[in-house]
Amino acid sequence: MTSPPAVSIRLPTASCWGSPEMTIEAATGGAARRRLRLGMVGGGQGAFIGAVHRIAARLDDRYELVAGALSSDAERARASAAELHIAPDRAYGSFAEMAEREAAREDGIDVVAVVTPNHMHAAPVRAFAERGIHVICDKPLTHRLEDALELVEVVRRAGIVFGLTHNYTGHPMVRQAREMVAAGELGTLRVVQVEYPQDWLTTRLEESGQKQAAWRTDPARSGAAGSVGDIGTHAFNLAEFVTGLRCESLAAELTAFVPGRPLDDNAQMLLRFGGGARGMLWSSQVAPGNENALRLRVYGEKGGLEWAQEQPNLLLHTPFGEPPRIISRAGAGASLAAAHASRIPAGHPEGYLEAFAQIYRDLAEQITARMESRQPDPACLLVPGLEAGLRGMRFIAAAVESGRNNAAWTEIGH
């Protein structure tokens, strides 16, 4: 088999010390690359994902955190801001105040990161979008489908750049997988197997006062789904992102194994994709020995691909009738799409934070291009946005409905 021309494979001269395509810090001809002014909603002391967003924003030096409404508790908000070098006058007590005052400043924020629990996404996103401030939002888009539908309209009308941190799409080898499928390397797809098992909710951790466990198992804050909303959406997004297919319907078995837990902690589904591919999705938070074992396997007429989050620098390519090949990030066989999302040489692992940072890096280019009234680098356009967010919400809604209906086939809609 020869590589089809549609996939841009890097030449095998790439060494362990980098290749020209790697954009660890692209030269700009001596001009300082703009650092975007970033605000944050949520993410105060004790939060997890807020800190991840901040690292992601810092890593490639394209953002500067200058404002925040970091907590709904005023004292905590102030203290958190101080720890983060945010000036006191830009440490706000509410997102509403922040949106209003930042929009009014000459040097107001360019973009806001919304990192609150799910039920608190919609309001701040709307507030900033309506003031023309670009938005980076943690997933899922909202905690109810109806909110999501409304929000999408608002954001579209606002015309801002909107990115949803389905962070696994920032991995170089996920992007290469998508590129290879799109280029026809696997032929027509037939089978899509995706799973995301964890074990951290094997016992009733939410009773222990653990904050993450508490809100993620609470319908009021998480929405109608447990594992499905928290990690099943990542699996679903990954499957659609890589295959380019639309999942049309599903039959879902949702179970809450831990006594007293109101939301599913395990979900198993059959999937039907447009074009005839068939799939399975498994999400679980009660599978001992699994930490974050997100894994995607895709099979077509001509070959297969396999990727696993816990070893993200590798992509297994299995062309039918040939020995399997291990493609490594920035190694021989890595594509331009992978190189675009790489910082360091092959064999030096990049991980979760780098993939998260890639979302931020690509959005920085999108936002900067908008500000400079130019077309963005096309390689930076792969970031999930409103459409992916809505797909995720429809997926959750369909899964919950199917689960309540004895795993009956349920349309996902679009």
Residue 167: CB minimum distance to a second copy, A: 9
> x/- binding map, residues 176-205, to a second copy, per CB under 8 A?
--------------xx-x-x--xxxxxx-x
Is 99 or 231 the residue whose CB approaches a second copy more closely? 231
Closest distance to a second copy from the beta carbon of 152 (Å): 29
Q: Using the rule CB under 8 A, which residue among 5, 85, 89, 374 binds a second copy?
A: 85
Tokens 């001269």 — which residue? 13
Residue 348 binds to a second copy (criterion: CB under 8 A): yes
One of 116, 165, 284, 335 touching a second copy (CB under 8 A): 284
Binding of a second copy by 101 (CB under 8 A):
no
Among 257, 404, 411, 414, binds a second copy (CB under 8 A): 257
Q: Is residue 279 involved in binding a second copy (CB under 8 A)?
A: yes
297 binds a second copy (CB under 8 A): yes
Residues numbered 5 to 34 that lie near a second copy (CB under 8 A) are 12-13, 15-18, 24-25, 27-33
The nearest distance, CB 158 to a second copy, in angstroms, is 30
Nearer to a second copy (CB atom), residue 289 or residue 378: 289
Binding mask 144-183 for a second copy (x = CB under 8 A): ----------------------------------------
CA geometry: angle 239, 342, 300, nearest 5 deg: 30
Site for a second copy contains 242 (CB under 8 A): no
Nearer residue to a second copy within complex by CB, 159 or 351: 351
Residue 117 touching a second copy (CB under 8 A): no
CA distance linking residue 360 with residue 353, whole number of Å: 11
82 scored as a contact of a second copy (CB under 8 A): yes
> Quick one: 30 or 104, whose CB is closer to a second copy?
30
